[in-house]
Amino acid sequence: MSETQGQAHDNPLLTAWQTPHQTPPFDAIRPEHFLPAFEQAFADHSAEIAAITHDPATPDFANTITALERSGTLLTRVSAVFYDLVSAHSNPAILEIDKEVSLRMARHWNPILMNGVLFGRIALLHENRATLGLTAEELRLLERTYIRFHRAGAGLSDEAKTRMAEINERLAHLGTSFSHHLLGDEQDWVLELSEADCAGLSDSFVAAAKAAAEERGMAGKTVVTLSRSFVEPFLKTSARRDLREKVYKAFIARGNNGNANDNKAIIGEMLALREESAKLLGFPTFAAYRLEDSMAKTPEAVRRLLERVWKPARARALADRDELQALIAEEGGNFALAPWDWRYYAEKLRQRKANFDDGAIKPYLALDHMIEAVFDCATRLFGITFTERKDIPVWHPDVRVWEVRDRSGAHKALFYGDYFARPSKRSGAWMTSLRDQQKLDGAIAPLVINVCNFAKGADGEPALLSPDDARTLFHEFGHGLHGMLSNVTYPSLSGTAVFTDFVELPSQLYEHWQEQPEVLQRFARHYRTGAPLPEELLQRFLAARKFNQGFATVEFVSSALLDLEFHTRPAAASRDVDAFEKAELARIGMPEEIALRHRPTQFGHIFSGDHYASGYYSYMWSEVMDADAFGAFEEAGNIFDPATARRLHDDIYSTGGSVDPEAAYVAFRGREPEPDALLRRRGLLEEPKAA
């Protein structure tokens, strides 16, 4: 054993954590600690499972279901730390270990989820569930456990199980490669800007582009990277059409460059394997398999929702396109609107029509002020308070930690905020946890993380958010609340352990508070002068919100439809990924001037793993609920109405997976969601009526 490999007693992942609130000691954890820790965790977990299957006593809830809930504690702990680093602060050593771990993880879980003896015990309890005298949460846990094992193939023949295990291992490997490739293509590309290249760009954008150069060891230069937080504002504001084209083309080519990072072959293989596994389990397609365990239930229900939204959104986008083209002509431009022009001219049109541009409001949206707003809304709704802690170990110096307390002042959670883009972080924004709430053996308080990719302010200036960034901040914090307010007994039902098409309800619902005048008037203060957001600018901002919604809806719904088609058509049909994408976009009548929000080779939601595979629609499914749910506060005449907030806490934010989601929604709202609330919120209901 080499010296660096270390002994168990000096591996911080394997010892008790002496830190405040037993948080991971990130300052002591090194890449070489992970593989030995995973080895130990796999061995412990397998021994715990063997103890259950070898238990001679008649299966009962305690010796089977509760015992399962208690198993794998070390594995959960090591995994949480590891995947936080993989996503938020990786390096070549971590990424190399990730390849190994993803394979080992599949090899570890396959024999557990397909263990015939274990499944026999679970199935027996499930069959007799009505006679076991279980509480509602216990019954829900038993059902969810049975479904999880059944859907993993625990009831298949030995031959089918062997094939299933091979498929799962291969899919794990492919998913990991997909995200590594994407990160690779994003890390490899920057566009250096001369002073003349900065025409149209705001001071805060240029400052952020200088900070990004510094992060890459290019101090003194100004660069645009392929992070969405750079690309979208660049396309919106750069007056240089040639550079917009360059950035746009590099952005949509990620994972599709014919280099070592190309993801096309991976996609083809993944789709074929997913189809094969669905068929082994008795489903005609992967989407049918995947959606059986969701609120939507079937691909048809998903398609109905998406098409209901697609038609008015497309019509609006086409009408907007004509206006943008007219604007180009009016300015003397002699070219057809291209995809790299849309955001730029849409922003011009918005400035003209609503007399508003993002640049005008950014000085009022300093990150720190918006964090205050995020916390204050949670205090007013749910009574929780936040105090920054400087003594908690973190994985990067930019990470901040707050202690969260409940109304009585008791410790509730720790909240980690990791807000800035850096090369070691994958793109996007997400919530995750280092430890989930549960109270199976005494109360465990959660450690919840939000990760974003905001551009840093340069030269000591504070980071300023765009309205989209501010919305992302509220969105991820809404997920964070789902984790922090969780109040369940069993770990596997904790917080965000809900259906994918329900999980965006707590996050998207929370976005609504960000755009309330009451909140903005108080927290949107000029970062230099401290002056409040002028009333007139606030009104223009609110009026501009519905602007360009045809475009935003089209880019999202087209990606969701493509995801659904990938997983409902025979896999052979999409072997040529580019051709499939092209044909599909032609079929739905995709406007040529709009790109998918995620083209296939960069669609990490559905190919980095299978969590959102044939589940990208979930955001929209949840939006039907969040648009309708916020109405409860509007009807109460108070966006912080205590009685409504209490119901929201009790029925939605604290119940995790312990309640059926439809029942949870109806308990909160008193009825099913009303679907047109979504179209109304996006301003897509007021379509001009045909004669």
Q: Is 476 a catalytic residue?
A: yes
Q: Using DSSP, state whether 419 is helix, strand or coil.
A: strand
Q: Which residue is nearest to Zn ion (CB)?
A: 507
Rounded to whole angstroms, the Cα distance separating 592 from 586 reads: 9
Alpha carbon 382 to its chain centroid, in Å, reads 23
Rounded to whole angstroms, the Cα distance separating 322 from 556 reads: 21
Q: What angle do CA 30, 35, 38 make, to 5 degrees?
A: 115
**Site track 454-493 with Zn ion (rule: CB under 5 A), x = hit:** ----------------------------------------
- Of 230-238, 256-264, 457-465, 504-512, the window that binds Zn ion (rule: CB under 5 A) is 504-512
Q: Nearest approach, Cβ of 77 to Zn ion (angstroms)?
A: 24
Q: What residues from 391 to 410 belong to the interface with Zn ion (CB under 5 A)?
A: none
Comparing CB distances to Zn ion, the nearer of 164 and 505 is: 505
Q: Nearest approach, Cβ of 393 to Zn ion (angstroms)?
A: 27
Site membership for Zn ion, residue 507 (CB under 5 A): yes
Q: Nearest approach, Cβ of 475 to Zn ion (angstroms)?
A: 6
Comparing CB distances to Zn ion, the nearer of 24 and 483 is: 483
Rounded to whole angstroms, the Cα distance separating 424 from 86 reads: 9
* Rg of the Cα atoms in the chain: 25
- Of 191-199, 209-217, 350-358, 506-514, the window that binds Zn ion (rule: CB under 5 A) is 506-514
Class of residue 87 by CB neighbours under 10 A (exposed 0-12, middle 13-18, buried 19+): buried
Q: What residues from 181 to 240 belong to the interface with Zn ion (CB under 5 A)?
A: none
Comparing CB distances to Zn ion, the nearer of 403 and 623 is: 623
Residue reference for tokens 């990067």 = 396
Site membership for Zn ion, residue 277 (CB under 5 A): no
- Of 6-14, 304-312, 500-508, 552-560, the window that binds Zn ion (rule: CB under 5 A) is 500-508
Q: Nearest approach, Cβ of 496 to Zn ion (angstroms)?
A: 9
Q: Nearest approach, Cβ of 454 to Zn ion (angstroms)?
A: 16
E strand segments, 422-477: 430-435, 447-454
Cα dihedral across residues 624, 630, 632, 634: positive or negative: negative
Question: In terms of DSSP bridges, do strands 447-454 and 411-420 run parallel, antiparallel, or are they unpaired?
Answer: parallel
- Of 143-151, 190-198, 445-453, 501-509, the window that binds Zn ion (rule: CB under 5 A) is 501-509
Question: In terms of DSSP bridges, do strands 190-192 and 223-225 run parallel, antiparallel, or are they unpaired?
Answer: antiparallel
Comparing CB distances to Zn ion, the nearer of 165 and 678 is: 678
Q: Which amino acid is at 224?
A: V
Element housing 184 (H / E): helix 158-188
Q: Which amino acid is at 200?
A: G
Q: Which of 280, 209, 211, 320 is nearest to 551 (CA)?
A: 320
Alpha carbon 597 to its chain centroid, in Å, reads 14
- Of 296-304, 330-338, 503-511, 515-523, the window that binds Zn ion (rule: CB under 5 A) is 503-511
Q: Nearest approach, Cβ of 559 to Zn ion (angstroms)?
A: 15
- Of 20-28, 215-223, 499-507, 522-530, the window that binds Zn ion (rule: CB under 5 A) is 499-507
Comparing CB distances to Zn ion, the nearer of 403 and 555 is: 555
Q: Nearest approach, Cβ of 41 to Zn ion (angstroms)?
A: 28
Q: Using DSSP, state whether 464 is helix, strand or coil.
A: strand
Q: Which of 560, 558, 505 is nearest to 313 (CA)?
A: 558
Site membership for Zn ion, residue 145 (CB under 5 A): no
DSSP string across 88-138: HS--HHHHHHHHHHHHHHHHHHHHHHT-HHHHHHHHHHHHTGGGS---HHH
Comparing CB distances to Zn ion, the nearer of 484 and 571 is: 484
Comparing CB distances to Zn ion, the nearer of 341 and 626 is: 626
Residues in the chain: 691
Determine which one of 476, 565, 593, 623 is catalytic: 476
Q: Nearest approach, Cβ of 292 to Zn ion (angstroms)?
A: 22
Comparing CB distances to Zn ion, the nearer of 471 and 567 is: 471
**Count of residues engaged in binding Zn ion, rule: CB under 5 A:** 2
Q: Which residues make up the interface to Zn ion (CB under 5 A)?
A: 504, 507
Write out the catalytic residue numbers.
Answer: 476
